[in-house]
Amino acid sequence: MREIKTGGNYATPRRIVAALGAYLIVDLLAVYFWSSAGPVLSIQAPSDSNSTLPVTAMAGVGLWLCLRVLRSFPVGSPLRSAWMLIAFAAAAQAGSGVMAELLGSDWVLNPLLWTGSVQPALLAHIRLGALIAAGPIRLAALAGALLAALRTLRKFGFCGRPSATDWAVCGIACLFSLCRFAEAGAASLAGRETSMQNWISLASLPLLCVLFLEAMLLTQAVLRMGSGPVARCWSAFVWGIFSIGLTELALWLVPHYSRAPLGMVESLARFLTAAIFALAPAYQLAAQAWAMKMASRAEENLATEAPAVAR
């Protein structure tokens, strides 16, 4: 690995967890206030009032950390291709937020609106492009990255046979995808129109099933790594994939069985996912900093124990 600056690498995972905890507290308090005071004060939260600015900011942090990790792996390293795809997936998520919040909005700072000749259809296409980047494109890059990582881990003997629990979780994800496709097919037969956002979400489901299969194998590799920062790095990817599945499940169930504001639920779930994926490169940087610190200590001890003539 190339030499990297180790300052602050140990504290980065704690900072991300602290930011996640603060955001969860604020968002949960907002949901509680809406549920308790909404019926009395006639407070309404429309389903489209969802701002992805915090999600975009956390995705930007994850992209910056991924680029730092990628820079530490020289060309030809076993995991360089995996981290290149991971960085591309992070860039797709951060770029989709910029497209949705800046280029695809009516905000005064949108440079496309400065000419005064932008059609609303163009903004709608930009928002759809943002959904595609955050959905199928990001998941495809992440699936390719984990496949490359699993091949490398298998060479070093870290992969093992999945357990019954792993198969059960993966089966639930596949069953959920089948239910979504069955619902879309029933709606099409009944003559109900399916929105473009739903089609993009359906296109992501097969990739999500592949990710759950890879997470199932990655779990066994993590169990063989112990409890160090490298194991926590790959464990963060497993939990991130699990969080993506829970987000899709929540966004599907909330409109059917709850009156909770969908925008708040979506913002909370997607920020949680972005923070978990940002933890992965943060733990990798912490592992590299720890390895460099141990190497420097070993050199100091070797120099101290060497005889005076050799010194």
Mean pLDDT of the chain: 81
- Residue 238 has what pLDDT? 93
- Residue 6 has what pLDDT? 45
Is 249 domain-assigned?
yes
Contact 112, 122 (CB under 8 A): yes
What's the mean pLDDT in 141-157?
91
Residue 308: pLDDT band (50, 70, 90) is very low
Is 3 domain-assigned?
no
Is 44 domain-assigned?
no
pTM: 0.82
Q: What is the Cα 109 distance to its own chain's centre?
A: 27
- Rounded to whole angstroms, the Cα distance separating 264 from 184 reads 25
Residue 161: domain span: 12-39+51-286
pLDDT in tens, 180-221: 999 888 888 888 887 888 888 899 999 999 999 999 999 888
* H or E, element range at 59: helix 53-72
pLDDT in tens, 245-289: 999 888 888 777 766 667 777 888 888 999 999 999 999 988 888
What's the mean pLDDT in 62-82?
90
Number of domains in the chain: 1
Contact 67, 87 (CB under 8 A): yes
Contact 214, 147 (CB under 8 A): yes
Is 208 domain-assigned?
yes
Is 2 domain-assigned?
no
Rounded to the nearest 10°, the torsion over CA 184, 189, 194, 199 is 40
Is 17 domain-assigned?
yes
What's the mean pLDDT in 147-169?
86
Is 173 domain-assigned?
yes
Is 231 domain-assigned?
yes
How is residue 52 written in tokens? Answer: 């992805």
Contact 105, 123 (CB under 8 A): yes
Q: Give the position of tokens 């919040």.
A: 101
Q: What angle do CA 5, 239, 255 make, to 5 degrees?
A: 130
Q: What angle do CA 16, 147, 136 make, to 5 degrees?
A: 70
What's the mean pLDDT in 67-80?
89
Secondary structure of 260-298 in HEC code, one letter for each residue: CCHHHHHHHHHHHHHHHHHHHHHHHHHHHHHHHHHHHHH
